[in-house]
Amino acid sequence: MPKKDTITYGTVKESAVNLHFKVGAGGDNGIADVMLIQTLFRYIGKIGQKAMYNIGLQLHELPAIDGICGRVTKNAILKFQRKNASKVLAVDGLIEPASYEGRTIRAGEPRVMTMTLLHFLALEMQAYHPEPSYIDTLIKMTPQLRPWLS
């Protein structure tokens, strides 16, 4: 199940979403964790189209928010990682929970976990949305996430 976490980036601490279990090829693929990834792809992908940021997925390739890690969701994960190969630690079709506790991500760090990159992109896309926090928007998009992200 997803969770609200705290990420330290340089000297700034901010709220971030995170996973409890792995999502994707060979992952645990818990329904709520999968829904979080699907919701993030829809949020970043749709707003990114307006913001001219291409996550590597066309609108018709964005997975449905159904909690099922099927072919479309697995393809979306791998395609996103391939598009961002220079920014993520691994291109393996698997999104692992980010490890933020006791860790500071330095500005300009060349590669991060896929989950961390999704957080940074969602944070960037937040500027194009009326909600004060991308996490609030994710909950509006997928109310089933509220128990874990509130």
Average pLDDT over residues 75-93: 94
pLDDT for res 53: 59
Using the predicted structure, report yes or no on whether residue 49 has a pLDDT greater than 70.
no
Amino acid making up residue 22? K
Residue 110: Cβ within 10 Å count: 8
Using the predicted structure, report yes or no on whether residue 12 has a pLDDT greater than 90.
no
Average pLDDT over residues 108-127: 89
Domain ranges (residues) in the chain: 3-144
Name the pTM for this structure.
0.91
Average pLDDT over residues 81-110: 89
Residue whose token pair is 């992109």: 121
